[in-house]
Amino acid sequence: MNEKRWFWILLDVLIAVAVVNIVFFVMPALLRLGNSFAPARTVMASAEGKTTVMPDIAESTFSVVVQGKNPQDLADSSNQKMSAVIKFLKSEGIADKDIATVAYDLSPNYRYDASTQRNYITGYMLTQTVDVKMRDFTKVAEIIGGLTPLGVNQIGNINFTVDNNETYLAVARADALKNAQAKAEQMAAAAGAHLGRAVNVSESQGILPRPIPYAMSTGMSAAAPQVATPTIQPGTQEITDDVTITYELE
Q: What is the pLDDT of residue 33?
A: 53
| Residue in 211, 224, 208, 180 with CA at minimum distance from that of residue 81 | 224
Which CATH number covers residue 95? Answer: 3.30.70.2970
In a domain, 140, yes or no: yes
Q: What is the pLDDT of residue 250?
A: 84
In this structure, are 29 and 150 located in the same domain? no
In this structure, are 118 and 157 located in the same domain? yes
Collect all residues with Cβ–Cβ distance below 8 Å to 43 and sequence separation of at least 6: 184, 187, 188, 191, 193, 195, 246, 247, 249
Task: Give the domain extent around 124.
Answer: 57-161+215-233
In this structure, are 22 and 61 located in the same domain? no
Is 85 in contact with 152 (CB distance < 8 Å)? Answer: yes
In this structure, are 75 and 137 located in the same domain? yes
Q: What is the pLDDT of residue 14?
A: 67
Element (H, E) at 108: strand 99-113
Residues 210-242: pLDDT tens digits? 554 444 444 433 344 455 556 667 777 888 889
Structural domain count of the chain? 2
Q: What is the pLDDT of residue 214?
A: 45
In this structure, are 89 and 135 located in the same domain? yes
Give me the residues of the chain with pLDDT under 70, please: 1-14, 16-40, 206-232
In a domain, 249, yes or no: no
Distances (CA, A) of 213 to 60, 101, 157: 11, 21, 5
